[in-house]
Amino acid sequence: MNILQILPKLDVGGVETGTIDLSKELIKRGHKVVVVSGGGKLVKNLIEMNAKHIELSVDKKSPFTIASSIKKLESIIKDERIDIVHSRSRVPNIIAFFAARHTGAKFITTAHGYYSNHLISRVTGWAKFVIVASSVIGRHMIEDFKVPHERVRLIPRGVDLDKFKFNMPISSPKSEYKIGVIGRVTPIKGHGFFLQVIARVVRLFPKVKVLIVGDAPKNKPGYMEKLKLLVKQLKIEKFVEFTGAQYDIPKIMSELDLLVLPSVGQEAFGRVIIEAGASGVPVIATAIGGAIEIIEDTHTGILVRPGNILEMVNSIIKVLKDRELSKNLAIEARKKIEREYGLVKMTDDTIKVYEEASKKKNILVIKLGAIGDVILVVPSLRILRNSFPDAHISVLVGAEAKHILKNCPYIDELILYDRKVRDKGLKGLLKTAGILRRKNFDMSVDFQNSKMSHIISWLGAIPERFGYDNGKLSFFVNKRIKYLKIKATPLAEQFRLLKSVKIDTLGASTYLEIWPSKEDFLYVDRLLKDAWVNSSQALVGINIGSSARWETKRWPLKNFAKLSDMLAEKDIRVVLTGSKDVMDSVRDFMKLSSIKPVNAVGLTSITQLGALIKRCKVFLTGDSAPMHVASSVGVYFIALFGPTDPSRHFEPTEKGIVIRKDLKCSPCYKSKCKRNVCMERISVEEVYKLIIGKIEKK
């Protein structure tokens, strides 16, 4: 693989050391390594190991510099044929995210700190995978940054055991003991707390020399001076030495008798703990952040409560005086480091993440339409799953259709976009787009092809967006195919789009499916039992309504009533179905008909309707969602078409029959009509004959 790591600078620090160590191990295994940074003293280390370093101003927060760096990084990714972009800090995350999106490289981040939740930090969670060094940071990314659990990968940092040689602590007392605090000199590291501890330690145990290794960051220039002033106030100048930044940490570790990590804020990991453990240096750390996961208290180190001066004083004196304890802590720590925190293991685990990112696609299917439209997308979901068996497939649906795909075996996840209530307006749109961004999709297949669906896929920062060039803000779709105004079935249109994804649809199955549960069938059994339906009695389902805005799709109610009476003469029980908004039609039906039907109008969910239709011998419906439900459960059905064109809305099946009158005015796609001739001309007798023929044929 060709791997690019990006970080602000290559000076001293845990992030920088981790980058160098990983690069060394990747090169050893035959991978190409490119590192992009703002430069620094460790660049020479990269060059010595034959890694390529490219200097960019990725440490600057200026919007203009960031925009310029994105373009430059895009060129680097293309020129170096980069497969993986691994970003290790917040500003580089922004640059790397957009550059990777524009080039198709896989974007990985490592969360190196306990970040505050603002926009710059949130980009960390937009990666394909987010690597964390400790469970503390993993929980932080999941709970505070809403990164899905399945995209977080726990990989503790690894130490190069060839560099950090184990030196057993000597058993006899020494004339002087060296204590080290190693790391950036910032308030979170607890240096002020530690100096107050040392002021008490030296009164009881004066054989101590303290090394404060590290520099204060440039944005806190006065902090180091405050610490030096505190040293004077505590009158411990002869015991404390500020060494500044040091690059040969193995050498420093070889001189120490004790390492202290006095942090008072959340630490992501604590790299110096494992470096000390590898070197045979006992460790005392505050019980906070990643230290809790590395140190087994009193076994591989000592943990004390953050800010507890007395507890820290007693622990330091105990470890320095009790040489046998010091020796045992060092031995057990080294065993644990070799077992869990070696550089080889870290590299193995990181490469697995790179390989998973390269191979596993994250696919979003967009279908925000009504119930029937969502049922019609099932064959395409089946094809996508067969074509990408290892992919994570999500479907973005509207509120009314969410139950249809609840038990669908071809998808991994449903994402709800409730445009009318919960996610109404611009705020809801941006919120949903944010969810899509965090899920880091590689591609979207837009079967909705509306203005809204095109916008949301673009806002979701999905690199490959497949859809139709239909004039509905299609410029937001970057993998467009021409919309042809031809009379094609719904699946024929969908399959055209799938072909643009390089999926072979030739000979693909077009049957529809829904998945009623066991509970759905039990509910239907109770419903029919309460209506005194005999188990041997033939049932014919009649969907008497249609969408409120499509009055023209409805067959006259008098026809339904007459048909029901004719069926009753054959001892066939009629089951009425429909949504709650056709309750008035049911009351009018009762006045026109002499039978007592099973009235299921408004009483079923979409999957319960599927279970109910499954109990019918034949189902009669207009051009509406129940037509697709009947097709999905494999029941013979008759579809009455008038103002709409069956060649565009009816998916051919052996168990489906269309009745339609060939009139000059049809199809008109008008929702209202004074005469509604197209539906009036469909006679009761021809429908009755087809129903009886199907029942008797069985």
Residues 370 and 396 in one domain: yes
Residues 496 and 528 in one domain: no
Residues 605 and 685 in one domain: yes
Residues 493 and 538 in one domain: no
Residues 188 and 70 in one domain: no
Question: Does 360 have pLDDT greater than 90?
Answer: no
pLDDT confidence band for 633 (50 / 70 / 90): very high
Residues 63 and 142 in one domain: yes
Q: What is the mean pLDDT of residues 612-625?
A: 94
State the pLDDT at residue 698: 60
Which DSSP symbol is given to 624?
S
Angle between helices 223-234 and 191-204 (to 10 degrees): 20
Phi, psi of 300 (to 5 degrees): -115, 5
Residues 597 and 634 in one domain: yes
Taking CA atoms, 64 is separated from 23, 39, 58, 507, in Å, by 30, 19, 11, 52
Q: What is the mean pLDDT of residues 567-590?
A: 88
Residue 159 domain flag: no
Domain count, the chain: 4
Residue 350 domain flag: no
State the pLDDT at residue 116: 80
Question: Does 548 have pLDDT greater than 70?
Answer: no
* CA angle (537, 538, 539) in 5-degree steps: 115
Residue 127 domain flag: yes
Alpha-carbon distance of 117 to 138, in angstroms, equals 14
State the pLDDT at residue 535: 78
Taking CA atoms, 249 is separated from 13, 357, 541, 670, in Å, by 10, 34, 80, 79
State the pLDDT at residue 600: 93
Q: What is the mean pLDDT of residues 306-320?
A: 94
| pLDDT top residue among 64 and 486 | 64
pLDDT confidence band for 547 (50 / 70 / 90): low
Tens of pLDDT along 115-154?
A: 887 778 888 988 999 999 888 899 999 998 888 888 899 9
Count CA within 13 A, CB hemisphere, residue 557.
Answer: 16
Residue 508 domain flag: no
Alpha-carbon distance of 202 to 251, in angstroms, equals 25
State the pLDDT at residue 317: 95
Task: Evaluate whether 84 touches 8 at the Cβ level (below 8 Å).
Answer: no
Tens of pLDDT along 158-190?
A: 998 988 999 998 888 888 999 999 988 888 899
Residues 97 and 125 in one domain: yes
Residues 533 and 637 in one domain: yes
Look up the CATH number of the domain holding residue 614. Answer: 3.40.50.2000
Count CA within 13 A, CB hemisphere, residue 49.
Answer: 23
What residues form DSSP beta bridges with 260? 284
Residues 146 and 242 in one domain: no
State the pLDDT at residue 349: 95
State the pLDDT at residue 20: 92
Alpha-carbon distance of 127 to 109, in angstroms, equals 6
Count CA within 13 A, CB hemisphere, residue 193.
Answer: 24
Alpha-carbon distance of 47 to 323, in angstroms, equals 42
287 alpha carbon, distance to own chain's centre: 32
Residue 348 domain flag: no
Residue 162 domain flag: no
State the pLDDT at residue 672: 84
Answering whether pTM is above 0.85, one says: no
Residues 6 or more apart whose Cβ sits within 8 Å of residue 136: 114, 266, 268, 289, 290, 292, 293
Tens of pLDDT along 82-102?
A: 999 999 998 999 999 999 988
Return the residue matching tokens 């006679």. Answer: 683
Residue 229 domain flag: yes
Range 462-469, long-range pairs (CB < 8 A, 24+ positions): 462/364, 462/436, 463/101, 463/102, 463/104, 464/104, 466/497, 466/500, 466/501, 467/497, 468/497
Alpha-carbon distance of 463 to 447, in angstroms, equals 17
Tens of pLDDT along 488-543?
A: 788 888 998 999 999 998 888 889 999 999 999 999 999 999 999 887 889 999 99
Alpha-carbon distance of 34 to 27, in angstroms, equals 10
Range list of β-strands (E), 232-341: 240-244, 258-261, 283-286, 302-304
End residue of a domain, out of 500, 535, 564 = 500
DSSP-assigned states of every residue in 656-688: EEEEE---TT-S---S--SS-HHHHTS-HHHHH
Residues 326 and 368 in one domain: no
Task: Evaluate whether 376 touches 365 at the Cβ level (below 8 Å).
Answer: no
Q: Is 11 exposed, middle or buried (0-12, 13-18, 19+ CB in 10 A)?
A: middle
State the pLDDT at residue 553: 87
State the pLDDT at residue 674: 79
Residue 349 domain flag: no
Q: What is the mean pLDDT of residues 412-421?
A: 90
Taking CA atoms, 591 is separated from 594, 596, 684, in Å, by 8, 11, 18
* pLDDT mean across residues, the chain: 90
458: which 2 tokens? 């673009």
Residues 558 and 693 in one domain: yes
Residues of the chain with pLDDT > 90, as a percent, come to: 60
End residue of a domain, out of 470, 500, 530 = 500
Tens of pLDDT along 28-74?
A: 999 999 999 999 989 999 999 989 999 999 989 899 999 999 999 99
Its domain, for residue 435, covers 360-500
End residue of a domain, out of 465, 500, 535 = 500
